[in-house]
């Protein structure tokens, strides 16, 4: 028998929240999926798209009967949300999230929730350069990893149910310590996002100041498009991730700056063998990603 919930409340019906709603409804994992959010037009669209059954304007109304509450808003808003409706979470209900940062955030959520609520941190590694429920899909999580970040306080039955939920979505579920999660994702996801946003802003500056003829679209091959795809991601979401994972990220940006500095010096010196050695090293590491 697959995991099943009576009422699921999704707080933040965007790309990820909406896609999870589509999964819950398609796979019949819930009797009812209620949407909670700020923008009525968005919630109406979510109903139309089949991501939620209905929405409520008062969060308490959706939360108090839910046996599963999914937090799918930018991570820095968790505290505000939990302070607003946390007391309405019923005893025994599972609260989970889909945030890209864990670490201290998991501790905060555990502290803010009432006694009896069971929190399980989750991070489906799926996204798109498009945001919003209209970009959502019940297949968004298929074949993607989903990282669960249990702590000593995590209820094992709740953990198992969230695992089954993501497996039903087609994901490969992994467990990781919340702090290790942030270091790993800082490296493979948050750092590349910082760099992609900076690259695009650098290209805009180069275009403004030095090459007015610079037609980014016309002269670039697929390379630039691929390299910067992630720079079209939600500014609101990434703002929060960068702030929340700041300590890891700053260290990693500095490692990167030193690598860039080194390659720059080799180029400045016209050191062919030195450059080739750096590029060959990168090529070999990069090929591991194609395995």
Q: 244-263: which residues touch a second copy (CB under 8 A)?
A: 246, 249-253, 255-260, 263
- Least Å distance, CB 146 to a second copy, is 11
Residues between 84 and 113 that touch a second copy (CB under 8 A): none
Our finding on whether 157 is near a second copy (CB under 8 A) is: no
Our finding on whether 199 is near a second copy (CB under 8 A) is: yes
Considering only the stretches 19-27, 45-53, 107-115, 205-213, report the one whose residues sit in contact with a second copy under the rule CB under 8 A: 205-213
Assigned token pair, 35: 């949407």
Our finding on whether 148 is near a second copy (CB under 8 A) is: no
> d(Cα 233, Cα 130) in Å, to the nearest integer?
6
Our finding on whether 212 is near a second copy (CB under 8 A) is: no
Handedness of CA 33, 34, 38, 42 (dihedral sign): positive
- Least Å distance, CB 185 to a second copy, is 7
Our finding on whether 232 is near a second copy (CB under 8 A) is: yes
Among the listed residues 54, 76, 44, the one whose alpha carbon sits nearest the alpha carbon of residue 7: 54
* Of positions 56, 108, 174, 179, contacts a second copy by CB under 8 A: 174
Query: 109 near 78, Cβ under 8 Å?
Result: yes
Nearer to a second copy, 117 or 231 (CB): 231
Our finding on whether 145 is near a second copy (CB under 8 A) is: yes
Query: 7 near 65, Cβ under 8 Å?
Result: yes
Q: How far is CA 148 from the centre of its chain?
A: 13
Residues between 123 and 142 that touch a second copy (CB under 8 A): 125-127, 129
Query: 275 near 267, Cβ under 8 Å?
Result: yes
Nearer to a second copy, 80 or 286 (CB): 286
Taking the CA atoms of residue 19, residue 22, residue 27 and residue 28 in that order, the dihedral angle to the nearest 10 degrees is: 130
The DSSP call for residue 177 is -
* Of positions 83, 92, 142, 267, contacts a second copy by CB under 8 A: 267
């Amino acid at each position: 028998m697959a995991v099943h919930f009576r009422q699921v409340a999704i707080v933040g019906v965007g790309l990820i929240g909406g896609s999870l709603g589509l999964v819950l409804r398609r796979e019949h994992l819930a009797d009812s999926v209620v949407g909670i959010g700020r923008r009525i037009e968005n919630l109406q669209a979510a109903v139309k798209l089949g991501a939620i059954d209905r929405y409520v304007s008062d969060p308490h109304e959706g939360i108090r009967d839910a046996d599963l509450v999914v937090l799918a808003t930018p991570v820095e808003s968790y505290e505000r949300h939990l302070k607003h409706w946390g007391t309405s979470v019923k005893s025994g209900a599972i609260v989970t999230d889909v945030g890209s940062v864990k670490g201290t955030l998991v501790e905060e959520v555990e502290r803010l929730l009432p006694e009896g609520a069971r929190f399980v941190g989750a991070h489906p590694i799926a996204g798109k350069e498009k945001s919003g429920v209209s970009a959502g899909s019940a297949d968004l999580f298929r074949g993607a990893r989903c990282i669960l970040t249990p702590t000593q306080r995590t209820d094992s039955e709740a953990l198992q149910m969230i695992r089954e939920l993501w497996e039903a979505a087609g994901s490969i579920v992994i467990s990781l310590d919340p702090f290790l999660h942030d270091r790993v994702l800082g490296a493979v996801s948050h750092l590349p996002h910082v760099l992609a946003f900076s690259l695009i802003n650098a290209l805009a500056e180069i275009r403004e100041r030095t090459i007015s003829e610079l037609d980014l679209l016309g002269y670039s091959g697929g390379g630039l498009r691929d390299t910067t795809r992630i720079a079209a991601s939600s500014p609101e979401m990434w703002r929060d991730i960068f702030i929340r994972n700041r300590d890891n990220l700053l260290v990693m940006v500095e490692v990167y700056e030193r690598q860039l500095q080194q390659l720059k010096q080799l180029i400045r010196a016209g050191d062919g063998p030195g450059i080739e050695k750096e590029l060959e090293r990168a090529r070999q590491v990069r090929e591991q990603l194609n395995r």
